[in-house]
Structure 1
Amino acid sequence: MADSLVTAQAADRMRSRWPVLLPAAAAALLLTWLTLSAGSKEESSVAGLPGSDAGAAWLVPMLQVLHDLAAVMTVGCLLGAAVLLPGDRLLGAAGYRWVRTAGWSALVWSLLSLAAVPALLAEFLGRGFSVVTPTAVVQFLADSPQAQARVVVAVLAAVLAMAARVVLTMGGTLGLLLVALLAALPPALVGHAGGTGGVYGPTAVALHVLGVVLWAGGLVALLVCRSISVGAVGAAVSRFSRLAGPLALLVGGSGVLSALTRLSDPAQALGSSYGLLVLIKLVAFVGLIVVGAWHRRWTMPALVAGRPAAFLRLLSVEVVLFGATMGVAVGLSRTPPPTAPAAAQGGGGHAVPDVVVPASPSPGALLDVHPGLVFPVLAAAAIGFYLAGVRRMSARGRPWPWLRTLAWSASWALVLLVTSSGLASYGGVLSSVHVLQHFTLSLAAPLLMVLARPGRLAMSALRPSTGQDLRGPREWLVALRGRPVMGTVLHPLVALPVYLVVNYSVYVSGLYGWLLRSEVADVVFFPLFLMSGTLFFRALLGPAGPGTAAAPRLPVVLAALAGWAAVHGAVAIVVLRSGPLLAAEWWSQLLRLWGPMPIEDQQTAGRIAATYGVAMLFATVIAILRRRRRPREITAHSAATAVVEPQVQGTS
């Protein structure tokens, strides 16, 4: 009876914390106003920053604050339902409410994104809203990356709002969470924060945004959760606490890196409005870390003991502080840095603005380090987790084949070679280098990854979750393998068209020019190339579907392989080697002073693509034949997995 009373009181307190979101939003709006007022005397000359219409200049950042808060609410509620709560395949009552709340906040998010388009146009024109007409808005959408980003967000958020009305499973909720994270990125990447700072700018901003929406969103979700017992709240808080540390590290590290790319001298941190706002954000970040430490030391033990009041009070303060910090961040995004980042000295010709043409390639330049963030971080994490799994298997007396470890390491070495070495500096100025990057990421590296069997290693090395009804990484893998859709996606004749569309449509559309000139495009498409290639080779070399040990029928595999070879050969020979110049407008603006003419280099790219295709065709055939000669190993692994998987039965 007492336990029931405590649970009821806790639920009431959870409901009573909804009003805290109002002062959090008010703090965000107030801090935005203060930061804009402080920086209003500095004229903006940075690409991506607005003009000077008074009404729109204030409306746009205020809409941005509300837009960001709606994004945080959406991501947080989906994170809570998919990751923080215990549950089987179906959502529980609290998870159901979280998803429905995410649907409403996604609707607000979508509407605010659409409302920002005419406001941005009025600000751009500098003559108020009287000149904003439907025709002007349509033209603005065709020409402005910022407006296009808002429409993309509006569409994705609208999809989330509709899907949240019908999703009832944890797997579906996880899918919605991934879409929400994707929707949070476009405005940041096309603004001045993502558009400057060299190669670090887009990736640092993307990582910063993802860290913020997950960290702040998780806090908001815990604040507004209801119809959940104290024990379940404690479990959710404990799980989020394990996520908060890495998220804080991600937010702090990416924020510092982004600031360093815009402050050429430490003295500018005190001598400019931009630098002072960076320091204010740093102080607020430290405050959030202190509050988190206080939670761990004092309020979380009280929550576990059934006394949630102190935890909720401090959580309310934390959410308001986060709202104020987001207000400062919006003001910072509207404030020009004291000086533009120093551009690298290329010496290889005259390029369009913000693009440096490197000097003529040499062996030393090709082996130099190309600064970046996404792929080194991904490679370090992938190799680190893989080696940890290998070590755990060895500790259990089940040594992992060293050739697979070598294949995994070699695959990521290839990824780093084409994305983070000096070779990457020439990807935007030489078609031949870009094609080499593309097909290394979509063919060579994925084949090695599939041969390394990371999924099998994960299933063997990961331990089942110790929390009751809480899904850990292994439980999510088991659930994913058990989905009927996986059997469809991993069929060779389904994976083939996915691969063809992702990889070859860029050469018959305007995307090729965007890939050449944009660092943001690399961040978007290079992972897509890698994932589509991994899916394709997994379909050719792996089991026919979840729960089966047999590979797809050989005629089906060979038909898919022949289809790929035909399309690849056509693109290499007809489009690249013999076709007209692709992205001609880009090459006319680039004015490279060394090397072959663009059309000659494109023909070289065609020869590279054709050679790459022949080599990969032979390598894939050899891998398929070796795979067919070792059915006993596959059957033995299937039996071993069947012995282990009942431990997590009920989580899929």
Structure 2
Amino acid sequence: MNTQIFESLTRFTSRAAVPIVVIGGLAVGTAAMLFTGAAEATLLNDPGPYVRFGLPAAKFVFNLSMAMTLGALMFALLILPRTQGRGRKTKATTAAATSGTSDEAPLNALWEKTLKIAEVASVAWTISAVAVLVLTFVDTVGAQAYLDFSNQLGVFLTQIAFGQLWTLIVVLIAVASTLCFGTRSYLGIAVAGVLGVGVMIPLALMGHSAEASGHTQAVNSIGLHLLGVTIWLGGLFVIALLGSDLARSNQLRTTIERYSSFALIAFAIVAYSGVVNSLLRVHDLDDLMSPYGQVIVAKTFAVILLGLVGFWHRQFVIRRLGAVASATREFWRLIVVEFTIFGATMGLAVALSRSQPPVSQEPVGNPSPAEILTGEPLPPPPTFARYFTEWSLDPLWVVVAVGLSAAYILGFINLRRRGDTWPIHRLICWLLGMIFLVYVTSGGARVYGEIQFSAHMIQHMLLIMVVPLPMVLGAPITMLMRGTKARTDGSRGVREWVLWLVHTPYMRFFANPVFASVNFAGSLVIFYYSGVMKYALEWHLGHELMIIHFLGAGYLFAQALIGIDPGVKRPAYPLRLLMLLITMAFHAFFGISIMSSEVLIEGDWFGNIGADWGYSAIEDQQLGGGIAWGVGEFPTLFIAIMVAFQWSKSSDREAKRVDRREARTDDAELRAYNDMLATMAQRDSKADHRSR
């Protein structure tokens, strides 16, 4: 009887999942648009009701199919085993799985079914993306779009930034969909997943005016919000569609436990990013009482309900799955409730994207030169104190720092609980590195780095020379290896993927001490003298890529010199000191070259900020050169001390090892050496005697 009830519940959930979300989302979204006035016809050049209602519906299907596609890829990459059978994989099996060769165990039926879900969903994602592109064109141009439709659409796709971004989105989705159909290797599916997540970048860039205040917070919070919702909802769809298969293979509880961890992270990201984004559009209680604000309240309430359902799952249901029939029934009923709430939440989100917020998202009238360039008001004159009191939070790096800190602390607690030791100073170093990372990306160095060359240099030097040092000393890869359990069913979790990445030939090349040193020093010259800096100043994506590159360059350089994590073949200690001296000498010459330069670097930016305080642009640039030279001295000294300290400890360990070996062998090696010398002396003595 219990089996029949379970089968009926799983069949109902799997069949009803998509209709529940679609019907509920479209109904709630339509009602919300009518409530906020987003569905009303415009006074001039209205595109018509088919576009006014069709575009939100297409966006809804787009978001839904995106969640299903990426959720299925997440399950294939991080939750389900790829091949049949259990046990650890050998190196040959792992290589075959990565390359897609056939000399391995048969593919797991659940894994293949998951990719079938990704295939179907990716087709719907591609079609809905094309529909959104065309409807967005008509919505942008208005009724005039129907006159000479094809030529105007071509101009929109090739010459208008909005159309170019949507064209890029369609191409990325189409390639990801092709990979879902064309490959069954881990690497191919991983590339499809990366391309799918990459779609969120142009989506986030289109979600806020590039000239409006709070651009960084808006773009990054939208991107994080999309990522969190996709992980959360997409995983639910996969569980619903695979429910009976998971139960028959006795993988239901394990799968849900793994997904639950990702869902918890996704909930935290959705809640945080939603608050950040809402605060840019609703400033006070009056704004909250507007139709737009009331929809935000309704969406917030729905997210809280989803969080409570997830909490109930983790605390009272998951641990009893499979053992108690009532728990299984309760689980599937809660899944239906989650789908219902999720559908309403997505409908509200689409309605918000089509509604006018009470706080204008357009640039202010008569903007200052700083506002034209940076999108932000000119900050007050910089002082030492203001470098610590002026903040402009970057939600992306706050999430990265807090998430990595929480993961490290969790690993530390796991080690202590099972009786293993982990040096407390490594935990402190890691947390210190995360604090530095938040400051560099959100504190005064970032605020003034957008308008002053010297402040930008401070941010840059901290990012490449200071932040990585405590991170490397925290030994995060070693913590990951010791603080998390290895998968034994053939699947790959975060631990397995990170270790795979660390040991790939590509990463070994980038982590090679010679390349790491060249990259560390050469990146400075390329960034400041080749014109690349322009893109980091003008483009949001360029700024984020700059942070990633220089943080990575500094981390790999420090890892090659003072790190203990695997994946790097470090040179002997004298060579490490030589590498450090050569690199720092090059770094000093770089700073001196900027100090002595009379040509303004990125003069179109720093020369037109319009600040009525501080040095002139060229004087500030020369000050930045001095900062580049001076700031590097302290990290260099610290690294040199650490290399010497590690060298000393290594010598002590070697001496103790030799002493222990001699004690075990009763100085056999020394006696053999003395006997050899005695034999040589005897031979020389006989030779001298014969020569006489």
Match of 2:559 in 1: 538
Match of 2:276 among 243, 250, 257: 257
Shift of residue 437, structure 1, vs aligned partner: 0.6
Match of 1:428 among 446, 450, 453: 450
Match of 1:273 in 2: 291
Whether 1:218 and 2:235 are equivalent positions in the alignment is yes
Structure-2 separation of matches of 1:394 and 1:564: 39
Matches within 5 A, 1:406-421: 406-421=428-443
* 1:553-584 C-alpha deviation (Å, 9 max, x unpaired): 67997897689668756865667863743444
Structure 1 pair 197–465 and aligned structure 2 pair: CA distance change class (3 A): same
Q: Sequence identity of aligned pairs in percent?
A: 25
Structure 1 pair 583–81 and aligned structure 2 pair: CA distance change class (3 A): same
Match of 2:687 in 1: none
Q: Is the 8 A contact 1:44 1:336 kept in 2?
A: no
Whether 1:157 and 2:173 are equivalent positions in the alignment is yes
Match of 1:288 in 2: 306
Match of 1:361 in 2: 382
Match of 1:643 in 2: none
Match of 1:333 in 2: 353
Match of 2:513 in 1: 492
* Deviates further, 228-237 or 27-36: 27-36
* Deviates further, 66-75 or 95-104: 95-104
Q: Is the 8 A contact 1:263 1:275 kept in 2?
A: yes
Structure-2 separation of matches of 1:518 and 1:604: 25
Structure 2 residues not aligned, in runs of 5+: 83-88, 98-106, 656-692
Structure-2 separation of matches of 1:44 and 1:428: 41
Question: Partner of 1:367: helix, strand, or coil?
Answer: helix
Whether 1:73 and 2:68 are equivalent positions in the alignment is yes
Letter aligned with residue 117 of structure 2: T
Question: Partner of 1:66: helix, strand, or coil?
Answer: helix
Whether 1:441 and 2:463 are equivalent positions in the alignment is yes
* Deviates further, 363-372 or 113-122: 113-122
Match of 2:686 in 1: none
Structure-2 separation of matches of 1:41 and 1:168: 44
Letter aligned with residue 109 of structure 1: W
Shift of residue 499, structure 1, vs aligned partner: 5.8
Structure 1 pair 137–513 and aligned structure 2 pair: CA distance change class (3 A): farther
Shift of residue 433, structure 1, vs aligned partner: 0.7
* 1:136-182 C-alpha deviation (Å, 9 max, x unpaired): 645665552x4444344334434433433455455765565455334
Whether 1:40 and 2:49 are equivalent positions in the alignment is no
* 1:531-551 C-alpha deviation (Å, 9 max, x unpaired): 3422343245557964x8x52
Matches within 5 A, 1:597-616: 597-613=616-632
TM-score with structure 1 length normalisation?
0.79
Structure-2 separation of matches of 1:594 and 1:348: 14
Structure-2 separation of matches of 1:111 and 1:504: 45
Q: Is the 8 A contact 1:197 1:341 kept in 2?
A: no
Q: Is the 8 A contact 1:366 1:422 kept in 2?
A: yes
Structure-2 separation of matches of 1:284 and 1:402: 41
Structure 1 pair 582–238 and aligned structure 2 pair: CA distance change class (3 A): same
* 1:42-98 C-alpha deviation (Å, 9 max, x unpaired): 9999xxxx9953354444433322221121012210122223324665562212332
Structure-2 separation of matches of 1:349 and 1:44: 36
* 1:212-249 C-alpha deviation (Å, 9 max, x unpaired): 11111110111222754432123212322333334323
Whether 1:244 and 2:253 are equivalent positions in the alignment is no
* 1:87-146 C-alpha deviation (Å, 9 max, x unpaired): 6655622123323432453454345445544543433333224355557645665552x4
Structure 1 pair 309–397 and aligned structure 2 pair: CA distance change class (3 A): closer
Shift of residue 379, structure 1, vs aligned partner: 3.5
Match of 1:641 in 2: none
Structure 1 pair 136–477 and aligned structure 2 pair: CA distance change class (3 A): closer
Letter aligned with residue 487 of structure 1: R
Letter aligned with residue 436 of structure 2: L
Q: Is the 8 A contact 1:404 1:453 kept in 2?
A: yes
Match of 2:335 among 315, 320, 327: 315
Question: Partner of 2:379: helix, strand, or coil?
Answer: coil
Shift of residue 187, structure 1, vs aligned partner: 1.0
Structure 1 pair 241–602 and aligned structure 2 pair: CA distance change class (3 A): same
Give the structure with higher Rg (CA): 2
Match of 2:667 in 1: none
Structure 1 pair 283–612 and aligned structure 2 pair: CA distance change class (3 A): closer
Shift of residue 334, structure 1, vs aligned partner: 1.8
Q: Is the 8 A contact 2:535 2:543 kept in 1?
A: no
Structure 1 pair 155–317 and aligned structure 2 pair: CA distance change class (3 A): same
Shift of residue 19, structure 1, vs aligned partner: 5.9
Structure 1 pair 361–403 and aligned structure 2 pair: CA distance change class (3 A): same
Shift of residue 291, structure 1, vs aligned partner: 4.4
Match of 1:647 in 2: none
* Deviates further, 181-190 or 613-622: 613-622
Question: Partner of 2:477: helix, strand, or coil?
Answer: helix
Match of 1:122 among 138, 143, 162: 138
Matches within 5 A, 1:54-65: 54=48, 56-65=51-60
Matches within 5 A, 1:369-380: 369-372=390-393, 373-380=395-402
Matches within 5 A, 1:637-648: none
Whether 1:53 and 2:50 are equivalent positions in the alignment is no
Structure-2 separation of matches of 1:635 and 1:29: 70
Shift of residue 327, structure 1, vs aligned partner: 1.9
Shift of residue 324, structure 1, vs aligned partner: 3.0
Letter aligned with residue 35 of structure 2: A
Match of 1:201 in 2: 218
Match of 2:117 in 1: 101
Structure 1 pair 622–135 and aligned structure 2 pair: CA distance change class (3 A): farther
Question: Partner of 1:267: helix, strand, or coil?
Answer: helix
Structure-1 separation of matches of 2:593 and 2:156: 35
Structure 1 pair 414–317 and aligned structure 2 pair: CA distance change class (3 A): closer
Shift of residue 336, structure 1, vs aligned partner: 1.6
Structure-2 separation of matches of 1:302 and 1:389: 26
Structure-2 separation of matches of 1:183 and 1:128: 26
Q: Is the 8 A contact 1:193 1:333 kept in 2?
A: no
Structure 1 pair 348–184 and aligned structure 2 pair: CA distance change class (3 A): closer
Q: Is the 8 A contact 1:84 1:236 kept in 2?
A: yes
Match of 1:92 in 2: 108
Match of 2:254 in 1: 235
Structure 1 pair 98–125 and aligned structure 2 pair: CA distance change class (3 A): same
* Deviates further, 618-627 or 585-594: 618-627
Alpha-carbon RMSD: 4.6
Match of 1:352 in 2: 372
* 1:296-337 C-alpha deviation (Å, 9 max, x unpaired): 656984655578676446534532432332121011012121
Whether 1:20 and 2:39 are equivalent positions in the alignment is no
